[in-house]
């Protein structure tokens, strides 16, 4: 079982490395956030599955809580980063900017 768990964890590490390469290679900050926000939780979930196979029920339940926390909080954090970059960066790279009406409203 350790071989299967180890190979699953290595697969998760490969996905994390690919996410890191995407963060370094993409041109716009939007693409970089997308690579970091989508691939890193998937990599964590894959590694958590492998680790839970190795740890048993006690470790698996703790890892399930950690995966749930990441899945619930990371999309919100990435959305807030997208929003901050959109507000502070000149946007000549967008063809249609649907956030302009929302940014003109007073809060």
Most confident range, picked from 45-49, 58-62, 76-80, 103-107:
45-49
> In Å, how far are 10, 73, 79, 91, 97 from 48, measured between CA atoms?
11, 17, 24, 38, 38
Arithmetic mean of pLDDT over the chain: 84
Q: Residue 57's pLDDT is what? A: 83
% of the chain residues with pLDDT over 90: 36
* 55 — pLDDT class (breaks 50, 70, 90): confident
- Higher-confidence residue of 106 and 35: namely 35
Q: What is the pLDDT of residue 50?
A: 92
């Amino acid at each position: 079982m350790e071989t299967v768990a180890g190979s699953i964890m290595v697969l998760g590490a490969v996905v994390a490395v690919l996410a890191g390469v995407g963060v370094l290679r993409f041109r716009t900050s939007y693409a970089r956030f997308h690579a970091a926000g989508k691939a890193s939780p998937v990599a964590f979930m894959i590694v958590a599955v492998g680790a839970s196979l190795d740890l048993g029920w006690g470790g698996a339940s703790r890892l399930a809580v950690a995966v749930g926390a990441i899945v619930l909080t990371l999309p919100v954090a990435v959305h807030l980063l997208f929003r901050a970059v959109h507000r502070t960066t000149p946007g000549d790279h967008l063809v249609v900017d649907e956030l302009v009406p929302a940014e003109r409203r007073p809060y």
